[in-house]
Amino acid sequence: MDEAKKDAAKERRAEIVATATELFLENGFSGTSMAQLAKACGIQKASFYHHFASKDALFITCVNEGYAGAVQVLLDIRSDSSLSDVQKMEAAIHSLYESIVTSPAGRLSPLIAEVSRTMPKVADGFHKDYITHQRAALKNIVLDGVAAGAFKPQDFDIFHHLVFGPIVTLSLSREMFAQVDDLDAHFPTEKLKQGHLEIILRELGV
């Protein structure tokens, strides 16, 4: 098989994953049927099974590819020498709101909660491959600041609780109540982010 064909196949696969992720986010896992997926992708149900062994496998691919790379942003922030410690923290919070509230990666949480009983490996992978690394990346940014005297030392269990808690809950709330009321009136992302950031900086002694 030549390169062009390989690329086309990869692209087709990525296209399916993107469309499927969208549908899963919209209707949940069990709320999304292979028939719907097929229609949305413009192929027949049977054709899925040339790309993925099962519906479960397709879902797992969506989840894994959804959050893969979302950690990189934090790592990049940490190693950006043009930023001060406080600026790094600000950038980190912004990127977390972006990746958890806005992008598919974080919005997958309720989906994973849905299937966590029947597919514990998915929840396990999400924890191991995403949450752990995200927490570690944030922790290192704080540790740098502490070493430099910019931040007060922290208990990281509690610090993570303070940082991730409001963001994840905001994401969940916006997913849950997406169809029932004026979302931005009840859950104004920008305002909450700003207030949240100020609290975090106060806790860090800035």
Could you give the angle at the alpha carbon of 108 between the alpha carbons of 105 and 113, nearest 5°?
145
Nearest-approach distance from CB 105 to its own copies, in angstroms: 15
How far is 18 from 1, CA to CA, in rounded Å?
Answer: 25
- Asked if residue 133 binds its own copies (CB under 8 A), the reply is no
Tell me which of 15, 76, 80, 124 binds its own copies, using CB under 8 A: 124
What is the total count of residues that contact its own copies (CB under 8 A)?
Answer: 48
Q: Nearest approach, Cβ of 16 to DNA (angstroms)?
A: 8
Supply the DSSP symbol for 30.
Answer: T
Applying CB under 8 A, which part among 1-9, 39-47, 52-60, 169-177 lies near its own copies?
169-177
8 Å CB contact between 146 and 83: no
Interacting residues of 196 by C-beta distance below 8 A, sequence separation 6+: 93, 166, 167
Confirm or reject binding of residue 42 to its own copies (CB under 8 A): no
Calpha distance 27→18 (Å, rounded): 14
Fill in the per-residue mask, 16 to 45: x = in contact with DNA (CB under 7 A), - = not in contact: --------------x-xxxxx-----xxxx
Asked if 138 and 72 touch (Cβ cutoff 8 Å), the reply is: no
**Least distance CB 183 / its own copies (angstroms):** 11
Q: Distance between CA atoms of 176 and 7, rounded to whole angstroms?
A: 37
The two structure tokens encoding residue 25: 């986010």
- In this structure, which amino acid lies at residue 160? H
Q: Which residues bind DNA (CB under 7 A)?
A: 1-2, 4-5, 9, 12, 30, 32-36, 42-51, 54-56
Q: Which residues bind its own copies (CB under 8 A)?
A: 26-28, 30-31, 109-110, 112-118, 120, 123-124, 126-127, 155, 157-158, 161-162, 164-170, 172, 175-181, 186, 188, 191-192, 195-196, 199, 202-203
